[in-house]
Copies of this chain bind each other. A is one copy, B any other.
Amino acid sequence: MALFSKRTHTCGALRSEDIGTRVTLNGWVDVRRDLGGVIFIDIRDRYGKTQVVFNPQRHAGAHQLAKDLRNEFVIAVSGVVEKRPEGTENPEIPTGMVDVLADDVQILSKADTPPFPIDDSVDASEDLRLKYRYLDLRRPVLQHNLMFRHRLYQVVHRYFDERGFVEIETPILMKSTPEGARDYLVPSRVHRGKFYALPQSPQTYKQILMVSGFDRYMQIVKCFRDEDLRADRQPEFTQIDVEMSFVDESDIRDLTEGLMRIIFKELKGIDLTLPLPSFTFKEAMEQYGSDKPDIRFGLKLGCVNELVKDCGFKIFSEGVKKGGTVAGFVVPGGASFTRNQMDNLVDFTKSLGAGGLVYAKWTENGLESPSEKFLGKDLLERIMVHLGGSKGDLALLVSDTWTKTYTILGTLRLEMARRLNLIDESKIGLLWVREFPLLEYSEEDKRFVAVHHPFTSPHPDDIGLLESDTARARARAYDLVLNGTEVAGGSIRIHDQTLQKQMFSLMGIGEEEAMTKFGFLLSAFRFGAPPHGGIAFGFDRLTMLLTGMKSIRDVMAFPKTASAVSLMDEAPSEVDDKQLRELHIRTV
């Protein structure tokens, strides 16, 4: 029942070997040139482009029809493959040695002039492009990104299948147990006043699957968080969700590193060196000022407490005595920074919440610093040398609590790398951070909250600290970091209901609340739960980093804006009152 001439080849298929064959191509008019008598078009589809020639001398009828063609028309064109005339070949594209001399053309669909040109140099606003997402998606970069994403799915599915993982779908309509971010809710029509929630992660379900004996689980799954969105967040996002029984950290590490090796090899042609570098949370903070360090450049931090604890500069010595930390890093060649640049850096550092920024330059005249009179040239030099600096360098120092000193320095370090263009984009900064704190005190909630999530196992050496020195207890948690971005996180879980209850209690979640929210998991632990752990990879973010994009919107087919709107279909939208009545809700 073909109502049009179906293609014999795609627009990327024809080669010199096809010369003389009569073919039919289906696709979009990419470019149209009318050179006096002869009309040339490039016909485009996902697979490539082919040049088509309409010659009035050879096929007058087809040429007449071709006059109506415009960019983005969808056509079926038939003709004989010819060798391109000498000198007109295009070696840049695989079909560039041939063209098709059209003897017939059908217009399958006309096209209005697109609101922006269909190419990667587009300068239309992102909002306009999102509104016309179907046109934006025709651009080569988005076609490439979604094809790349497709290949990533395949590699991931195959990797886990080959290792005995079972792909299991967990529910999207689940119970609301907000702990951390807000749930998206779904009112129940059948059960008046009750709601489902969309999963922030399938965490409890995958643990249940371990209790059920599935041993190795994986799923590429949509998750949802109703948060105020930042640049790289979306209300719905995709994760590779993994859980294993009878394992410890080393099993998850080996599994993950194997996956990374295959992804980088197959999709990027890069051989990763394994095992990956691994830092404790403490090491990452003290060396890079971040729990997701970017190790593609230096500027490593150093603590100078020992050097300054007895010095005359009170901000330093008193700070150390009060348990604080004085630390800093050296900017190679930074001695040449102007006064203006330094003032700017001081302001930037203060904007991060620092009391101030102490700095010293090692110039031709020796050590120079606004704080020279408090610290002395000698101490300044010892600090500089301790931090690895030499003549021509700049040392930056901050004194505050351990957390603030390192956090501020970490941000400052990234900022310096950006300003000095120190990040080598061809490098791969892939590493582990492990042994995160288990709980942290939330000033807002006036209680301890889980740093990872409430099902994370405490470090066995720190069980004794849980009640006595809660904030110091470490978790059996680990993050995988790529180029300064967290791309996966996981933990060894609690599989003992008594310890799990203790965790809830430490977090101020009463027994009743725990039973209401997580009773099914606690109950499951009563019937024989294996030791288990897992990890979840941010699929969108991983794809973004691997394709070199700056936004996850560029690796999703239909992303939403920062205010969670789909500009193409205008979701969310108003709905009929009848729909709301059936759901027993009213808007207020």
Chain A contacts to B: CB under 8 angstroms = 1-4, 6-7, 26, 28, 44-47, 72-74, 76, 108-112, 114, 132-135, 137-138, 143, 146-147, 149-150, 153-154, 157, 161, 166-176, 178, 182-198, 204-205, 208-209, 211-215, 222, 224, 226, 228, 235-236, 238, 245-250, 460, 476, 495-496, 520, 523-531, 556-558, 560, 563-566, 568-576, 579-580, 582-588
Instruction: Give CA–CA (A195, B574) in the complex, Å.
Output: 6
Instruction: Give CA–CA (A190, B172) in the complex, Å.
Output: 21
Instruction: Give CA–CA (A143, B217) in the complex, Å.
Output: 12
Instruction: Give CA–CA (A73, B525) in the complex, Å.
Output: 11
Of B6, B173, B205, B214, the contact of A246 (CB 8 Å cutoff): B6
Contact across chains for A2 and B248 when beta carbons are under 8 A apart = yes
Instruction: Give CA–CA (A222, B186) in the complex, Å.
Output: 15
Contact across chains for A205 and B558 when beta carbons are under 8 A apart = yes
In chain B, what residue has the closest Cβ to A585?
A: B585
In chain B, what residue has the closest Cβ to A557?
A: B168
Contact across chains for B212 and A137 when beta carbons are under 8 A apart = yes
A sample of 23 inter-chain contacts (CB < 8 A) reads: A1-B460, A26-B530, A45-B215, A74-B529, A109-B495, A133-B208, A134-B208, A143-B214, A171-B566, A171-B571, A173-B236, A178-B576, A182-B582, A183-B579, A186-B198, A186-B572, A188-B564, A191-B565, A192-B587, A195-B575, A196-B572, A204-B569, A586-B586
Instruction: Give CA–CA (A524, B171) in the complex, Å.
Output: 33
**Contact status of A563 and B191, CB under 8 A, knowing A1-B460, A175-B571, A235-B173:** yes
Cβ–Cβ < 8 Å partners of A247 in chain B: 6
Instruction: Give CA–CA (A174, B204) in the complex, Å.
Output: 26
Copies in the assembly, this chain: 2
Contact across chains for B183 and A557 when beta carbons are under 8 A apart = no
Report A208 CB to chain B, min CB distance, Å. 5
Report A262 CB to chain B, min CB distance, Å. 16
Contact across chains for B588 and A169 when beta carbons are under 8 A apart = no
In chain B, what residue has the closest Cβ to A496?
A: B109
Instruction: Give CA–CA (A419, B588) in the complex, Å.
Output: 57
Of B161, B189, B568, the contact of A520 (CB 8 Å cutoff): B568
**Contact status of A176 and B146, CB under 8 A, knowing A588-B585, A588-B586:** no
Contact across chains for A212 and B134 when beta carbons are under 8 A apart = yes
In chain B, what residue has the closest Cβ to A191?
A: B572
Instruction: Give CA–CA (A574, B175) in the complex, Å.
Output: 9
Contact across chains for A211 and B571 when beta carbons are under 8 A apart = no
Contact across chains for B138 and A212 when beta carbons are under 8 A apart = yes
* Max count, chain B CB within 10 A of own CB: residue among A175, A183, A196: A196
Contact across chains for B584 and A584 when beta carbons are under 8 A apart = no
Instruction: Give CA–CA (A2, B247) in the complex, Å.
Output: 8
Contact across chains for B72 and A527 when beta carbons are under 8 A apart = yes
Contact across chains for A189 and B226 when beta carbons are under 8 A apart = yes
Instruction: Give CA–CA (A313, B66) in the complex, Å.
Output: 67
Instruction: Give CA–CA (A527, B584) in the complex, Å.
Output: 41
Contact across chains for A194 and B574 when beta carbons are under 8 A apart = yes
Instruction: Give CA–CA (A228, B582) in the complex, Å.
Output: 12
Cβ–Cβ < 8 Å partners of A564 in chain B: 173, 188, 190-191
